[in-house]
Structures are given as structure tokens and as C-alpha cells.
Amino acid sequence: MKKTVILAVLACSALWAAPSFADPSAEELMKKYDQLMGPENFEAVVRMTAHRDDGTLRSYKMLVLKKGDDKMRLTFQEPAAVAGQEMLRQGDNLWVYMPNLKRAVRLANRESFQGGDFNNADVLRVKYQADYTGSVTTDPALPNTWLVELKAKAGANAAYDHMKLWMRKTDLMPVQGEYYTASGKMLRKAEFGDYRAFATLTRPGKIVMKNMLATARWSEMRWDSLNTSINPAPTKFVLDDLGK
């Protein structure tokens, strides 16, 4: 009997001493999302297909370079009508280089990306930690996910005023997102899929963006390749290099 009591006490002590794991904070989940969807340095081949209201398709193939937190360059390779057109981000500044004009024109984050259902910041800026504050909860409809509610910081050049992001509890992969105006109207809804390994980074290989204001429209972004082992030269991210 005495031995049994001792064992029971030891078992209880072990439980009390066992480490407890806190739920992730919104900052931790935003950091994870940024690491997955916008690694510090990378080169990628990306395809976008925009499904238009009239049933037609517009498809694009792009080479994307990223360096650090705030430098990105995108070069259109297909179709021929836009081949050679480039987009450049430096911090909060965004330009598109038009080969026929031989000059760059300023763009806004919230403008439509090539007339599709992603906006420019969806493609050329993934830095939720810099642009948003958040809180974490759960959603009974998706019990195996964390629901992160994000609000744009005052003065931030954010793509949306308010967002909801669902991330799997098992591996923190994004599952879906909702994107809202300041008044609470839903603009877009994203579905993430095709989770796969790109060398050392496992992440979604596809995002479907549904237009909630024009429901016959939607766009799909797919990653053909993603190389995070490169370190692009700083000269690749200056206006004077566009078109060269």
C-alpha cells in the first residue's frame, strides 16, 4: 500500500512539473505566414489565371525575385502581349515598367493585379507583421484551425482594412482567408491548397481568390518553382535596372 501511494504521488508530481504549451499569439502566427508566403529571399516562377465575368480566361507566367523584407521584382514572361513588362516594389513604393513607353509608372497597393482578383499587394507584399495587429480565436466551423483576425495599423499602407485568416493547428499552414473593407463588406475570399515541398520549404502551391463583389469572377495563382537558397543582388531592385 505504501509503495502504491508513493508511486501515485510521484505520478502527480510529474504531471505538475510537465511543461504546458501556450496557444500561439497573433504575432507568432503572422510571422509564420510571412515566412511561408514571403520568405526573406527567393526566386519563383508563378502562373496566374484570371477567370473573367464573360467566361474568358487571361493567363500569365511571371518570374518573381524577392530580397529582404521590402524589395520585390516581377517580370512577365507570358503572354506575348505583356512579355517584358516588370513590376518593382521598394518598401511602400510600387511601379510598373512599360516596355513600349520605356518608363515606369507608379501603382497603388489596392489596385487590381493585371485585371484579376488579386490586388498588387497580394502578389508583391507579404508582410502581415508590419501592416496589421491581430488577435487569435477558434472557429467552430473549422475546429482544427486557429482563426487570426487582423486589423490594419494606423498609417500602414495595407492591402485591406480587415482580414480573417485560418491556419491549421497541426502545421500552421494557411487554409483560407477573408478580406474586408473598413465598413465590414467582404471583398475577396482565398482558398489555399496544393501543399508541397519546395526544396526546404513546405507551403501552399496554389491560392484561389474569389471575388465576392462579382461572384462570376475568380483568379488562381500557382507556383511552378520556388528557390529560397539564392541572394539576389541589390542592383536588381532599382528603377534604372528595369527593362534590362
Classify 174 as helix, strand or coil: strand
Question: Which of 135, 159, 139, 157 minimizes the C-alpha distance to 148?
Answer: 135
pTM, entire model: 0.88
Q: What proportion of the chain, given as a percentage, has pLDDT over 90?
A: 80
Distance from chain centroid for Cα 154: 21
Cα 72 to Cα 94: distance, rounded to the nearest angstrom: 9
Pairing of strands 93-98, 103-106: antiparallel
First-to-last alpha carbon distance for the chain, in angstroms, is 84
- Amino acid 226 reads L
The confidence score (pLDDT) of residue 11 equals 43
Look at residue 130 and give its three-state secondary structure: helix
Task: Tally Cβ neighbours within 10 Å of residue 15.
Answer: 8
Q: Give 233-237's long-range contacts (Cβ < 8 A, gap of 24+).
A: 234/67, 234/71, 236/65, 236/67, 236/73, 237/65, 237/67, 237/71, 237/72, 237/73, 237/88, 237/90
Q: Residue 162 is which amino acid? A: H
pLDDT of residue 69: 87
Q: What is residue 17's three-state secondary structure? A: helix
**3-state helix/strand/coil string of 3-69:** HHHHHHHHHHHHHHHCCCCCCCCHHHHHHHHHHHHCCCCEEEEEEEEEECCCCCEEEEEEEEEEECC
pLDDT per residue of the chain (244 residues) written in tens, 0 to 9:
444 444 443 444 433 333 334 689 999 999 999 999 999 999 999 999 999 999 899 999 999 999 998 899 999 999 999 999 999 999 889 999 999 989 999 999 889 999 999 999 999 987 899 899 999 999 999 999 999 999 999 888 888 999 999 999 999 999 999 999 999 999 999 999 999 999 889 999 999 999 999 999 999 999 999 999 999 999 999 999 999 8
pLDDT given for residue 22 in this prediction: 67
Torsion of CA 119, 123, 128, 131, to 10 degrees: -50
Taken in order of first residue, the domains within the chain and their CATH numbers are 20-56+109-230 (2.50.20.10)
In the prediction, which pLDDT does 159 show?
87
Tens digit of each residue's pLDDT (9 = 90 or more) over 10-51: 444 433 333 334 689 999 999 999 999 999 999 999 999 999
Q: In angstroms, what is the C-alpha Rg of the chain?
A: 22
- Omega before residue 234 within 30° of 0, cis: no
CA 7 to chain centre: 51
**Alpha-carbon span 141 to 38, nearest angstrom:** 28
Give the DSSP letter of residue 120: H
Among residues 103, 138, 108, 102, the alpha carbon closest in space to that of 122 is found at 108
CA torsion 135-137-139-142 (nearest 10°) is: 90
